[in-house]
């Protein structure tokens, strides 16, 4: 963890200790004046609420990101400006802090945010609101009683964006832009689990490009990459949003079809085969025709696992190859 981040995360506990020893509301105290300058300079949001949940302090960071000035909100109930906070979890946590002196945490993964602020930068961000990790804790007086609650707000939007991009990169095939094998297997497991719960149809098409090695040997591997990309685009445009296309390895692809019985999957597989066979791929002024062979399988009382579903489709694909290629074989 970077030193700056670690220091910022210690601020709520430093604040608590300071208020316990100095008397938080003694604004005439030199130490308090110095502290409140720091309070307004730190790069996190700091809010102090009294026992009635009225705002007693609203630091500069909160002003900048909320658009609400301190002189507007101080003395008001926090719910007057942020009605989204008036929900059981927030209220129960406030009660726990005031009654027992607990520290409460609102993680971004569970709550996304407490205060609906706009992200600092909306460029290349999928979030409408700033993603926040928040800490709530007690502020005690010199006798140990709890007079106030503090809320520390950390903007974690950038790190969450980065984390999601890393996850996406780990699940997307770099060449074709569709699901990679890891992602495909994860989706397959989820869909098989759903099939076992609800018994809804689930089918799988496995296909690969016929004589792909000859394409690489004749036209070069860059041409082979081009063919893989173009086929991925053609198939992706031929399926529904809920269908899942992935590159299983090399020139082999799988298309997972939720809510699709075997007969319908076979019709779709034939459509794939015909579209590819009728397409002429132009690369470096050369017209190239390719075909695909396909195997189709479906979950049944006998096919009861993801491994069996893949195995059945693979067997169909193997039979299609042995039957002369450019064929669809349904493996019931």
Active-site amino acid positions: 251
How many angstroms separate the CA atoms of 183 and 193, rounded? 16
Torsion of CA 14, 19, 20, 25, to 10 degrees: 180
- Give 207's strand partners: 253, 294
How buried is residue 48: exposed, middle or buried, by Cβ count under 10 Å (0-12/13-18/19+)?
A: buried
- Residue 297 burial by CB count (10 A; 0-12/13-18/19+): exposed, middle or buried? buried
Please state, in angstroms and as integers, the Cα–Cα distance from residue 119 to each residue in 4, 203, 293, following that order.
21, 41, 48
In sequence order, the 6+-apart residues with CB closer than 8 A to the CB of 190 are none
Record the tokens describing residue 34, joined without a space.
């110095």
HSE (side-chain half, CA atoms, 13 Å) at 165 = 10
């Amino acid at each position: 963890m970077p030193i700056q981040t670690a220091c910022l995360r210690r601020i709520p506990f430093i604040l608590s200790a300071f208020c316990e020893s100095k008397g938080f509301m003694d604004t005439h105290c030199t130490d308090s004046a110095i502290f409140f300058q720091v309070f307004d300079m730190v790069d996190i949001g700091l809010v102090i609420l009294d026992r009635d949940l009225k705002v007693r302090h609203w630091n500069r960071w909160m002003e900048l990101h909320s658009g609400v000035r301190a002189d507007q909100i101080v003395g008001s109930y926090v719910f007057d400006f942020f009605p989204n906070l008036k929900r059981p979890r927030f209220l129960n946590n406030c009660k726990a802090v005031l009654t027992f002196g607990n520290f409460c945490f609102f993680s971004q993964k569970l709550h996304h945010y407490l205060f609906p602020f706009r992200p600092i930068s909306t460029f290349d961000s999928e979030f409408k609101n700033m993603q926040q990790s928040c800490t709530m804790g007690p502020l005690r007086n010199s006798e140990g009683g709890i007079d106030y609650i503090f809320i520390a707000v950390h903007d974690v939007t950038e790190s969450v964006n980065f984390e999601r991009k890393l996850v996406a990169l780990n699940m997307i095939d770099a060449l074709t832009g569709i699901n990679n094998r890891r992602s495909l297997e994860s989706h397959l497991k989820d869909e098989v689990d759903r099939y076992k719960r609800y018994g809804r149809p689930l089918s799988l098409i496995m296909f690969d490009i016929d004589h792909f090695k000859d394409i690489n040997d004749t036209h070069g591997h860059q041409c082979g990459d081009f063919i893989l990309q173009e086929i991925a685009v053609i198939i992706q445009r031929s399926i529904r949003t809920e269908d899942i296309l992935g590159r299983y390895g090399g020139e082999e692809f799988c298309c997972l079809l939720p809510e699709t019985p075997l007969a319908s999957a076979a019709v779709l597989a034939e459509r794939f085969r015909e579209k590819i066979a009728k397409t002429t791929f132009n690369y470096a002024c050369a017209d190239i025709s390719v075909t695909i062979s396909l195997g189709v399988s479906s979950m049944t009382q006998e096919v009861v696992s993801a491994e069996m579903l893949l195995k059945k489709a693979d067997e169909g694909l193997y039979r299609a190859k042995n039957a002369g290629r450019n064929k669809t074989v349904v493996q019931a």
